[in-house]
Amino acid sequence: MCCFGKPQIFQVNGYIPMAKDFYKILGVSKDATQDEIKKAYRKLARKWHPDINPGNKDAEQRFKEISQAYEVLGNEEKRKLYDEFGEEGLQAGFDADKAREYKKWQEYQQRSTWQTKSEPFGRYHSYEDVFGDIFDFEGTSSGFGSAHKAKGRDVEHEMTIDFISALKGVETELVMQKPKTCTLCDGSGKDPNAKLTTCPTCGGSGRLNVAEGPIQFTKPCPMCHGYGQVGKTCPICGGSGQILGTERIRVTISAGVKEGSRVRVAGKGEPGLNGGPPGDLYLIIHVQPHPLLKREGDDLHMEVPVTVREAMAGGLITIPTVDGPVRLRIPPKSQNGRVLRLKGKGAVNPKTKSRGDLLVKLVVKVPETDNKEILEAAEKMEAYYKGDVRQGLHL
């Protein structure tokens, strides 16, 4: 299997609208200058503008196509991507460097023949080649290009979500840029339109004897790679059985995920070999900090300002929670820093589905004023303190 590091994954809201041939839509050649493209766009826009053709749906659609074409060809960077990769190069999150890397690898594959591919372990491609015939390992890879099915590699990707989405859960859409099974050869690496013949090296068995004695060891035929037949290399994938593509997937993040949680998306890893099942995608979740809330275990912590009167006399105040606003009773004579607990208003535990608590820390706020009456009232309050409030304060 070819490897190019981690597949590129992007969170998106949608695709850029695509046209079939932007140059044809604007009526310009592929080597047209930016001035020629701009003139062509202005001429067509005047002709097909909806204000000039009120109620004409065909004209409205034509104007949209013209605008989309100019959006790409009128931008030098987008035009370069379009010229090099076609419409796929304009999809959200497309990685041009990775696509070029994959293209180089395909060109290398096309220059190479199946007969000249290396065998990493000398006469054997892997240890399974030696013992595969004895134990008949089902679903294990017997070396490069063997006919055995093999599961694709699992893929990990880091994903960042906001704090509230982590608490409530969220559905999002991702675009993955990764190798996928070749659509022409269906992963075999052979041109399906070319005639197949019996492999002259193995006589059609797909295996070769590599040892003499009481126990016969075999390995996949290096010419047909275990298929027993030979043909032409697939012109699309260059014999690798894979091409670079993009896939949109819907991902559900359960309520209560924590920083560093691993979310499994089954079957969205790399494709398997020779019809084997794909690997899985594992999302490593990172949670953005929140300006008001802090999580410790399954409990949430929040500081809530209260007035001097509310702290002294008590009363009901409204505070925000993950479930919406709730009424919180402030006990009389509450000191600054007092913590009140709201049962079941914390985070969901993803395993037990139980909820933690919300711990509310009261922060007493004094008025910011120079009003004489307020200052006199504060002066009178001094008489009601029981002793020195800083008594016992020492290092």
Together in a domain, 154 and 275: yes
**Domain end: 229, 256, 287, which one?**
287
Together in a domain, 200 and 265: yes
Together in a domain, 279 and 301: no
- Per-residue pLDDT of the chain in tens (395 residues, 90 and over written 9): 444 444 555 454 333 334 468 999 999 999 999 999 999 999 998 898 888 888 888 888 888 889 888 988 999 888 888 888 777 777 766 677 767 766 666 555 555 433 333 333 333 334 344 344 333 333 333 333 344 677 888 888 888 999 999 999 999 888 877 777 788 887 777 788 888 888 888 888 888 876 555 555 677 887 777 778 888 888 888 777 778 777 888 899 999 999 999 999 999 888 777 678 888 999 999 999 999 999 999 999 999 999 999 999 999 999 999 999 999 999 999 999 999 999 999 999 999 999 999 999 999 999 999 999 999 999 999 988 888 888 888 88
What lies within 8 Å, CB to CB, of 309 at 6+ separation is none
How many angstroms separate the CA atoms of 155 and 7, rounded? Answer: 7
pLDDT of residue 284: 93
Run of H or E residues at 329: strand 326-330
Together in a domain, 275 and 327: no
**Three-state DSSP class for residue 193:** coil
CATH of the domain at 28: 1.10.287.110
Parent domain of 63: 17-90
CA-to-CA separations, 67 to 44, 55, 82, 330, in angstroms, rounded: 10, 18, 15, 60
Together in a domain, 279 and 225: yes
Together in a domain, 234 and 299: no
Query: Domain total for the chain?
Result: 3
Domain membership of residue 100 (yes or no) is no
Together in a domain, 119 and 230: yes
Together in a domain, 127 and 186: yes
Together in a domain, 70 and 119: no
Domain membership of residue 9 (yes or no) is no
How many angstroms separate the CA atoms of 255 and 323, rounded? Answer: 12
**Domain end: 264, 287, 310, which one?**
287
Domain membership of residue 5 (yes or no) is no
Run of H or E residues at 64: helix 57-73
CATH of the domain at 167: 2.60.260.20
The strand pair at 358-365 and 299-307 is best described as: parallel
pLDDT of residue 277: 87
pLDDT of residue 315: 94
Together in a domain, 154 and 300: no
Query: At 200, phi and psi to the nearest 5?
Result: -75, -20
**Domain end: 272, 287, 302, which one?**
287
CA-to-CA separations, 126 to 68, 133, 140, in angstroms, rounded: 52, 13, 11
Together in a domain, 124 and 258: yes
Together in a domain, 255 and 280: yes
